[in-house]
Amino acid sequence: MDNQVLESTAERTFQYQSSLPALPVPDLHDSLNKYLHAVKPFASEEEFRATVAIVKRFEEGIGQQLHQKLLKRAKSRRNWLEDWWLDTAYLEVRVPSQLNVNFGGPTAYVEHCWPVRDGTQLERTSLNLWFTLQYWELIRTERLVVHKAGAMPFDMDQFRMLFCTCKVPGVNKDTILNFFKTESEGPCPSHMIVMCRGRVFTFDALCDGRILTPPELLRQLTYIKECCDGELEGDGVSALTTEERTRWAKVRATPSTGAPQPITVQYVNELHLTFYSTKNGQRTFTTVSLTVYKSLTHLALTGDPTIRWGDKSYNLICFSNGTFASNCDHAPYDAMVLVSNGYYVDQKLRACGGVWKGSEVVREMPVPEELIFTVDERVRRDIALAKEQYTKSDLQIVSYAFSSFGKAAIKKRKLHPDTFVQLALQLAYYRLHGKSGSCYETATTRRFFHGRTETMRPCTVEAQHWCRTMLNPTATVSALCVINKALNAAFSKHNKLMAEAQDGRGFDRHLLGLYLIAKEEGLPVPELYMDPLYTKSGGGGSFVLSTSLVGYTTVLGAVAPMVPHGYGFFYRIRDDRIVASCTAWKSNPETDAETLFQNLCTSLHDIMHVTTQSQL
């Protein structure tokens, strides 16, 4: 995405949707064969033999029956996985989603035109919002450029979910409400929600059909801040969105709260800005950008729950020292949507130097309206409990830049930068824990209709062999050719599996589909899914390393680990550096995000040394 055009008039954003190919169902034998290769790094010889027998019985028996039913389902749907994935990965999950599912992180402007500076919050927020609204208008008018791989268009449907979208809690299953419409489809909600000191305000982002200018947005934000300064804090109803999903659904449905009506029908479902005014030194950052990144990432994922609505598709959080972060529900879309938006705003701010150079005229318009929620004492106790539970989060977050080299040096050695980082992470985990780590890496399937992601498993037999060869204490300088050969094999296998996953030939989503067919048919859970190696290798969402390349832009985010003994690892790759956010649970004695990152740095140097020496 770096250096590419983000606006287009030659093509319309959604023009290729009707011509995108359907998501294919992979070949059963191929999927099971890939599965066996994926579990092998975690199995003893005896365990692997047992799993081979289980897979054989599955393929010759119930697996073949389920596969045929899946093929039949795929004939009547352009994406056989879409509804299942949304339900299984997000809407049926009952754990608190704001901490365990949402992603978030800092904005990039702190590195250039907007360094930390007190007293700039409102002015900067107004310009930030204006560019964000320009992006909203790009999607509305279908001028956002179509993402492509070469000449191949990608599915753009997820961009409809960035604005005007909210997840609504249910007792057993949540739902997604989306009110976005393109200009050709009709009117689209245009108001904002602003949250400040536990209170909630709204105003329309349009006046006479035109987006408010930064001076006009500044006037609205100033009014809200003045309403809140010196006053008691509000009830902070949004803290309830941090709760366990069923509990939140029951509290929300209680008639005495009066909350369901405005939340569901009109307000919080639309474009949502969370506005946080810090006081008395509650949040201070140094001027060192990496320290700021770490602090902002922590605040984005675990900060004050009363200044973000955890079920919203997009929360922009604005701090009193002129820095920004975001927190977003993962259910409606994947991170690349926010990356695109964040990169657009970043480039626009860079181009104008972070200064508005247009008209200072402020039109006549209504002042913001405060939304009042009728909250009784019981609900106030629920809010207090939600705040207490959320602030006890023991999520460890580190965010650092490895600046010794980046994409340019890696590509000079004819290596794929993403694979380089993934293999370094495998080596770092092995060095730290003395064993291989089951790993999930995001592979996009957006070349297909409504495609989202497939799992690519970086912990291959080849990667494990390379790690063991690299860490062999008896290895000598003469073993360099052996190490390099093992490294090249690991690179080749990773690249092959990633390409196949992106082409709809991964196996994890296929196995999920077969499992869900059995569930829908009321059949017993097949033996394959009960095999200990299924979970040990990462099956069922039990990956120890949950990773994703955020891209090659200035945007970075973070996510919590999938499992108690795991890590979350988001990273971006620039020409001269690799920037990563790593998370772990402090309460687990096995993991430490800081140590893993330091081992990653060592491993990056190790791979560069091996590849450099081999080319001499």
pLDDT at 2: 53
What does the pLDDT average to over 470-497? Answer: 88
Of the two residues 392 and 153, the one the predictor is more confident about is 153
Residue 394 is predicted with a pLDDT of 93
| Closest C-alpha to 63, from 88, 22, 27 | 27
Is residue 91 included in any domain, yes or no? no
Predicted pLDDT at 5: 65
Which residue, of 367, 393, 419, is where some domain finishes?
393
The pLDDT value given to residue 391: 86
| Whether residue 25 sits in one domain with residue 124 | no
Which whole number is the average pLDDT over 152-157?
Answer: 98
Average of pLDDT values for 321-342? 96
How high is the pLDDT of residue 393? 87
d(CA 319, CA 277): 6
Q: Is the pLDDT of residue 210 over 80?
A: yes
Question: What percent of the chain stands above pLDDT 70?
Answer: 92
Give me the number of domains the chain comprises: 2
In terms of domains, do 406 and 305 share one?
no
Are 411 and 287 found together in one domain? no
Q: What is the C-alpha to C-alpha distance for residues 3 and 339, in angstroms, rounded to an integer?
A: 14
CATH number at residue 199: 3.30.559.70
Last residue of a domain, one of 342, 371, 393: 393
Q: Of the candidates 393, 416, 446, which is a domain's last residue?
A: 393
Q: Among 400, 426, 416, 411, which Cα is nearest to 606's? A: 426
- Determine which helix (DSSP H) or strand (DSSP E) holds 62, and give its type and residue range: helix 62-75
The 10 Å Cβ neighbour count of residue 393 is 19
Q: Give pLDDT, residue 374.
A: 86
* 210 lies in the same domain as 319: yes
Q: What is the pLDDT of residues 33-70, one digit of tens each?
A: 999 999 999 999 999 999 999 999 999 999 999 999 99
57 in a structural domain: yes
Is the pLDDT score of 284 beyond 90? no
My answer on whether 442 and 321 are in the same domain is no
Residue 108 lies in a domain: no
Q: What pLDDT, on the 0 to 100 scale, is given for residue 275?
A: 53
Mean pLDDT, residues 529-541: 98
At 462, list the tokens. Answer: 């080849």
Cα 407 to Cα 69, 322, 416, 426, 537: the distances in Å are 44, 30, 9, 19, 30
Amino acid at 64: Q
Tell whether 471 and 521 lie within a shared domain. Answer: yes
61 occurs within a structural domain: yes
Active site residues: 330
The predicted model gives 320-324 an average pLDDT of 93
Q: For 335-382, how does the pLDDT look when each residue is reduced to its tens digit (9 = 90+)?
A: 999 999 999 999 999 999 999 999 999 999 999 999 998 889 999 999
Residues 219-272 have pLDDT tens digits of: 999 999 999 999 999 999 999 999 999 999 999 887 654 444 434 334 555 554
Residue range 116-137: mean pLDDT, rounded:
96
- Euclidean distance between CA atoms 447 and 24, whole angstroms: 11
Assigned domain for 40 exists: yes
Q: What is the pLDDT of residue 270?
A: 56
- Residue holding tokens 């319309």? 12
Out of 249-263, 349-363, 463-477, 511-525, least confident range:
249-263
How many Å apart are CA 250 and CA 247, to the nearest integer? 5
How large is the average pLDDT for residues 480-492?
94
Q: Are residues 165 and 260 in the same domain?
A: yes
Mean pLDDT of the 166-171 span: 96
pLDDT score for 327: 95
For residue 339, the enclosing domain spans 119-140+160-393
Q: Is residue 104 part of a domain?
A: no
453, part of any domain = yes
Let me know if residue 100 belongs to a domain.
no
477 and 495 co-located in one domain: yes
312 shares its domain with 411 = no
What is the pLDDT, as a whole number, of residue 178? 95
- CATH of residue 401: 3.30.559.10
Q: How confident is the model at residue 546 (pLDDT cuts 50, 70, 90)?
A: very high
DSSP letter for each residue of 174-198:
-EEEE----TTT-----EEEEEETT
Cβ atoms of 553 and 1 within 8 Å: the answer is yes
What DSSP element (H or E) covers 324? strand 324-328
What is residue 259's predicted lDDT score, i.e. its pLDDT? 43
> Are 358 and 427 contained in the same domain?
no
Same structural domain, 409 and 549: yes
Considering the domain architecture, whether residues 388 and 448 belong to the same structural domain is answered as no
What is the rounded distance in angstroms from the CA atom of residue 295 to the CA atom of residue 400? 11
- State whether residue 578 is helix, strand or coil: strand
Per-residue pLDDT tens digits for 17-31: 999 999 999 999 999
